[in-house]
Structure 1
Amino acid sequence: MIGAHLKEVRKSLHFSQEQMTEGILDRSFYSRVENDCSEINVNDLVKLLHYHRILVVDFLRGFGTTSTDIEILQNRITTAYLNEDVVTLQDLYINTKFADVRMKKVVRILINRLNGVNNLDERDREFSYSFLNEDNWNSENLWLVLHMLDLYELSDLKILVETIFHKVIRKKK
């Protein structure tokens, strides 16, 4: 199973077995791994992935078991919104226990948008601008902002992008 996935990754990189293993593993051993005749140990697998700048998490995603619950939920919401599937969004809104209440607010706003309610009430407007105060620009916060972008006026979008940019740059210094 790992061998077959390694082979897929290698082929996606357009590498020969020699290119994939150079300086890390014996090519003949690697060939046996790809053909499920030998097992690769974790250390060698990590070295191989690291050498080719492949994140272990990305490699493991190929097995379909490493998505977190929040990523699965984010994907379901995004897909439903892009497909204009109000029924699925409503079902998620009603039946999902959201760990992050902001996500539930976004789903409600997306449902309203798909139902033609384009004007934000004062609470939603404050919520949409609250992202400007974020200091932690992790993937969850960026997902939330992404789904709020079409609610902003163009001038506000410019401010939002500049704010995010400056906060990220400042954090790196």
Structure 2
Amino acid sequence: MDIGKKLKSTRVFLGLTQEEFCAGIVTESFYSRVENNKSKISMSDLISILNYHNISLYDFFASADKTVHDKKRVMQSFINDDANRLKKYQHLLKPAQKKYQLEFKLMLSILNDQIGELPKGTIEKAQRQFIRIGKLDINTLFYINLLVPIVEFRTLKIIINYLISSTESGKLCDFSLQLLCHSLLHFLNRCYKEKDEQEAKMIIKFFKNIPTTSYIFLEKLLVNCYECLFSGDEVKLESIVRVLKLCGYGKYAVSFERIKNNFETE
């Protein structure tokens, strides 16, 4: 087994330098020798490096024919608004994985705010493919995220109402909870654009009943922003925007400042 080669391919895929990838766990010079099969890395150091980059041993030692399309990593990149990482995953798709191209096209259009530029046929195809009523598993929650910006608002309200009436947030795993909150957050944005305060209040109430964890801290802050927008509480909104900036979420702060300014000029 060529561990050095596997490490290098993983590092290159993540777009990291040798120094960034070894993360101080081993020296850069030693790590370079490992990649070139001139030195052997201990299992403890290997595990530490992989853990640092959230890579499981299973994924690392998976067989060569394992699909590159790791669905969960793709989903995580999407809810993290990481368009650059999504593009890297997209470029690694094999010809046999063309069925995923529609997902990538939709995700990148959403993150780049280019939904309006998608052909009508693409949107209709996505709706046919992703609208599912049934078990609320991770895939279904992910597809609902893709549907929120493209489905007619009346239909979307039915989907979201079904979602929250069928969900017990306390029984969801952390990642499913992230997907749920991400979809509801973007639905709040649709509610704000459609001026549907009643629907928004229902979502805000649902959010407040979800225990705050580190996984959804940002989503909780952003929901508070929408609550301020609907109530017209500019002082509280400005306070939350400052918190967003201090926590490193500047792009979200700018987004809400833009929404607020657009609303004031209407």
- Please give the TM-score of this superposition, normalised by the length of structure 2: 0.36
